[in-house]
Amino acid sequence: MNPNFSNNINTDIQFHCAWDKRSSLVFNPALIKELYELDFQNGAYPWGLAAWQDFLQSNEYYFLAFLGTARHLWGLALFMALPGEITAHLLKIVVHNEQRKKGWGERLFKESTAHLKTLGFSSIYLEVGAENHPACQLYRKMGLQELRRVPRFYSDGKDALIMSTGLPAL
């Protein structure tokens, strides 16, 4: 975990975009394991450790935001963000279940999208479980519009809603 993090929840969100040369975060196996554990224990359709390792180590086209303490990661947002594209794809947003309903999800979304705007993105796209009420409400509050419903999108047979929003011009 980043040594600048105190034991109290850090109010600063750390950002990392693999292809943006201004991003300075150096990934280490311990941080990737913490991202995996947060997702595995609290996420909607969690990835395995190998998927996290592959994604962050061999794929350059992502934007990651996270916050936490010296000991625990409390929240993350992960986007597919291809240079030259205008739409960033939200893959995951996860807040630890002990830290929910405190505004962290909203901050992760708002600050990530503000950062993505500075990288040239002008819209956001995502899929969400149609029955995932907290996430659907968060996205509606963030201004996302439902584009369509995809039956049996997920491996467990559940439907997804496809949602998107434009980002206001800088």
Ligand X SMILES: CC(C)(COP(=O)(O)OP(=O)(O)OC[C@H]1O[C@@H](n2cnc3c(N)ncnc32)[C@H](O)[C@@H]1OP(=O)(O)O)[C@@H](O)C(=O)NCCC(=O)NCCS
CA distance 129 to 26: 32
Q: Which stretch binds ligand X (CB under 6 A): 27-35, 115-123, 125-133, 144-152?
A: 125-133
Shortest distance, position 111 Cβ to ligand X, whole Å: 11
Shortest distance, position 22 Cβ to ligand X, whole Å: 26
| 80 binds ligand X per the rule CB under 6 A | no
Q: Which residues of 54-64 are buried (b: 16+ CB within 10 A; e: fewer)?
A: ebbeeeebbbb
| 133 binds ligand X per the rule CB under 6 A | yes
Question: How far from the centroid of its chain's Cα atoms is residue 161's Cα?
Answer: 17
Cβ distance to ligand X smaller for residue 46 or 122: 46
Q: Which stretch binds ligand X (CB under 6 A): 14-22, 25-33, 41-49, 150-158?
A: 41-49
| x-marked contacts with ligand X along 94-123 as a string, rule CB under 6 A | xx----xxxxxxx-----------------
| 132 binds ligand X per the rule CB under 6 A | yes
CA distance 124 to 143: 10
